[in-house]
Amino acid sequence: GSAALGTNVTAQRFIVGGAVPLSQFDVGGHTLTVSGNFTVDTAGKLVMTNPTDTIAVAGNFTTDGADTYGSLTNGLIDIGGNFTQSTTTANNNAFAATGAQTVRFNGGSHQWSFQTPDTGAAGSHFANLIVTGGAVAKSTATPATYVAGDLTVTGSSIVDTVYNLGDLAYYTPLAVSGN
């Protein structure tokens, strides 16, 4: 089945998926605020195609669901914890963001991990990535994490092991302070 938000929602935790063959969740132009963790399990699919789609997660964001290529094209995922794209389904596109879709790490210490063997344009990757507020962000992906669009680092944040498919490539720790 599928579901879409009809209004802004606040939850302690949020899980997309379950016992049905495929549970599709569309943010629907609204804001979902999660005080704990957000999970897309093996039977789930996240859809963010509206510019006003927002998921604000205080905890961790984990995805292990269906192919999202063409389904994550817009909106913002704001993460206070870690980001993990797991491999239970062996789906290389469980988080294949494109277009204006943006993930922002909003301070503190974070790690992100793409655990599929194929990352980059042909697999799971960020469309746009923002690391802000003094965040220390480190990729545990092998090979490096791919950012198809903009990589923005502000506020004395530190980023390690990111590859930008645009004009710049980062292979060693990068520290950027200020604007």
**Structure confidence at residue 5 (pLDDT):** 94
**Structure confidence at residue 170 (pLDDT):** 40
**Structure confidence at residue 10 (pLDDT):** 97
| Contact between residue 67 and residue 41 where contact means Cβ atoms under 8 Å apart | no
**Structure confidence at residue 65 (pLDDT):** 86
d(CA 94, CA 10): 24
Give the alpha-carbon dihedral of 139, 143, 144, 150, to 10 degrees. Answer: -130
| Contact between residue 95 and residue 63 where contact means Cβ atoms under 8 Å apart | yes
Which residues are bridge partners to 104 per DSSP? Answer: 78, 130
pTM for this entry? 0.83
**Structure confidence at residue 146 (pLDDT):** 75
Instruction: Show the low-confidence residues of the chain (pLDDT under 70).
Output: 18-22, 87-91, 107, 109-111, 114-122, 134-144, 156-179
| Contact between residue 89 and residue 60 where contact means Cβ atoms under 8 Å apart | no
| Contact between residue 98 and residue 125 where contact means Cβ atoms under 8 Å apart | no
d(CA 147, CA 155): 20
Six-digit token string for 56: 């604000």
- What is the secondary structure of 29-49 as a DSSP string? TSEEEESS-EEE-TTEEEEB-
What is the helix (H) or strand (E) element at residue 175, kind and residue range?
Answer: strand 174-176
**Structure confidence at residue 173 (pLDDT):** 38
**Structure confidence at residue 178 (pLDDT):** 31
